[in-house]
């Protein structure tokens, strides 16, 4: 009985090692897909650099999925890591564009308000909070 259990244990170990032994990176696939989707929704297609990183992320995801189908899970994990990184860059670039646009709109609105205010104090006499020598 003891010999049979040992034989079954060794056989299981050999099969696990012989069949790749690496678990399918399901969570990494989901993470990469989610980040790609987030970048798309954030407007990455409106920025040429973000679009490039988004394409790279998709291509690497497709390559990883093909490797998973071939039971090459270790190699697939590397492609998934790169896909995730490129998707995050695309997402960051899309967010940067939105923030830049919002900042420009705020500045334009501020200039509009300042020019339409008849009681506007000349900015030369107003303290500049970024320059300590002008703050009173």
- Structural domain including 52 reads 23-112
Q: What is the pLDDT of residue 9?
A: 46
- Report yes or no on 92 lying in a domain: yes
Q: What is the pLDDT of residue 102?
A: 86
- Report yes or no on 108 lying in a domain: yes
- Indicate the number of domains in the chain: 1
Q: What is the pLDDT of residue 136?
A: 54
- Report yes or no on 52 lying in a domain: yes
Mean pLDDT, residues 90-105 = 91
Mean pLDDT, residues 120-129 = 58
34: alpha, beta or left? (left if phi > 0; alpha if psi -120 to 50): alpha
- Report yes or no on 132 lying in a domain: no
Helices 73-116/26-41 angle, 10° precision: 20
More confident residue, 41 or 122: 41
Average pLDDT, the chain: 82
Q: What is the pLDDT of residue 38?
A: 97
| Selection from 41, 69, 65, 36 nearest residue 53 by Cα | 36
pTM of the entire structure? 0.66
- Report yes or no on 119 lying in a domain: no
| Selection from 25, 33, 23 nearest residue 86 by Cα | 33
């Amino acid at each position: 009985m003891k010999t049979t259990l040992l034989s079954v244990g060794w056989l299981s170990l050999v099969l696990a090692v012989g069949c790749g032994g690496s678990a399918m990176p399901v969570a990494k696939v989901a993470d990469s897909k989610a980040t790609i989707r987030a970048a798309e929704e954030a407007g990455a297609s409106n920025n040429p650099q973000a679009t490039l990183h988004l394409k790279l992320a998709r291509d690497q995801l497709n390559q990883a999925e093909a490797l998973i189908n071939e039971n090459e899970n270790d190699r697939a994990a590397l492609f998934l890591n790169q896909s995730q990184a490129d998707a995050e860059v695309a997402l960051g670039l899309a967010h940067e564009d939105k923030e830049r646009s919002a900042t420009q709109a705020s500045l334009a609105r501020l200039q509009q308000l300042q020019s339409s205010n008849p009681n506007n104090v000349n900015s030369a006499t107003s303290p500049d909070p970024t320059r300590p020598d002008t703050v009173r």
